[in-house]
Structures are given as C-alpha cells and as structure tokens.
Amino acid sequence: MDAAEICVIVLRTLQVGCVATAAILVPGIALGWLLARERFAGRMLLQTIVCLPMVLPPVAVGLLLLVTLSRGSALGGLIERVFGAPIVLTWWAAAIAAAVMSLPLVVLGAQQGFLAVPRRLEQVAATLGASPLRVFFCVSLPLAARSIAYGTLFAFARSLGEFGATTLVAGNIPGQTETLALAIYARIEQFEDQEALLLSAVSIVLALLITGAAELCLRRHRR
C-alpha cells in the first residue's frame, strides 16, 4: 500500500465527512431550535425520530437507507431519473449514510445551545423591534454557537468514522467509496494486519489534527 493509495482513502474520507456535515448543519440547527423553543403536537415523536440513529444498530439504519435509496424505491428511482445513475454504491451514498448517522449530534448540540440562551434576551430583542429572524440570527444563534460548534465537530468526527450504515449503502469500492473505516475493515478481512494498523494510525492522526484545530478555533472564539 503506497502513500498515493492512503491519500485517496483519506481524501475520500474527508470528502464524505465534509459533505455529510455540511448537509446536516442547517437542518440540524433548525431542528435543534424547533425542539428547544417550540411546543407543538408530535414534538416528542420528532425528538425520538431525530435520536433514532444513535439508538438503532448502524446496520439497521443502513438497511433502511438501502431500501429507501435502491433503484426499486420511489426515491431511488427519482434520483436515478434526475442524475442518470443510481446513488447506491457511490460516495454520495456514503455521505448520506454518514449524514443520517451524525444528524442527532448536531441537533442535540443545537438544542442544548438554544435551551441555554435566556428567553429574556430574545424577548428584549423583540421589544426592541427585532423580527423573529433578526432575533434568531443576532441573539439566539450567536449565543448557542459554542454548543452548535461542538455538536458539529462531533458530527464531523462521527461521519469520518461511520462504518455500519455506510458499508451497506456504499459498499467498499476501492478508489470510489472506500473511506478509512471501510479500508481498515477490508484489510483486516484480508489478513493484511500491517496495512490495517497503518490506516488506523492515519485515522488517529487525522482525528487529533481535526479536534486540535477545532479546539484552537473555539478557544480563540471564547476570548
């Protein structure tokens, strides 16, 4: 296994993680705000559904995704008609699996962040004439930003290491859908322990770099 091959795997892992995290950031914040600030029928059900990927076995989530995205399904068929190719067994499918598995972390981080924002500040902002959108963007969101940032960081880390759901919907196609987690598992299956250990070490370095950089950014922001 040469450096170029490792690079391809690392870049694919980062690509899947970035796309998955970017895709869930806005809906995750919106869901977190909704669950923290609004009282509506079905709120408990929504909270449960949001948390399901954390509770269910990842392969079960993968199976549900496979059923939902396969060519025979309505959504899978629609995607194939629009993009001219099935989405299953592509790196996009890996990103979707990672997004679904990581979404609860962004939602819960945002929810806790918004719950920690004193209502009084939002009320004062409203009495000062601010629209609900301005209250959200100028008061609630900045004050919940730290929790959201940590939730997003964990979601990104989770998506980098996603395995169970990804392996079902994206398979393990070298150079195409092979992320670090999938590559390590494949090497172990093939009794290539040294390569598996090398990729594990790369994973550790990657995780340290990402969490270290994020922590530095958050500290700077705190000051």
Residue 141: how many other CB atoms lie within 10 Å: 17
Least separation in angstroms between residue 122's CB and another protein is: 10
Least separation in angstroms between residue 137's CB and another protein is: 12
Take residue 22 and report the two structure tokens written for it: 């970017």
Contact (Cβ atoms closer than 8 angstroms) between residue 73 and residue 82: no
Rule CB under 8 A: which residues touch another protein? 118, 120-121, 123-131, 138-139, 142-143
Least separation in angstroms between residue 47's CB and another protein is: 23
Closer residue to another protein (CB): 120 or 219 = 120
| Strand ranges (E), 122-190 | none
Closer residue to another protein (CB): 81 or 219 = 219
Distance CA 205, CA 22 (A): 22
Closer residue to another protein (CB): 40 or 191 = 40
- Which candidate, 112, 194, 101, places its Cα nearest to that of 151? 112
Closer residue to another protein (CB): 144 or 181 = 144
Least separation in angstroms between residue 40's CB and another protein is: 15
Closer residue to another protein (CB): 72 or 129 = 129
Least separation in angstroms between residue 15's CB and another protein is: 33
Distance CA 56, CA 48 (A): 11
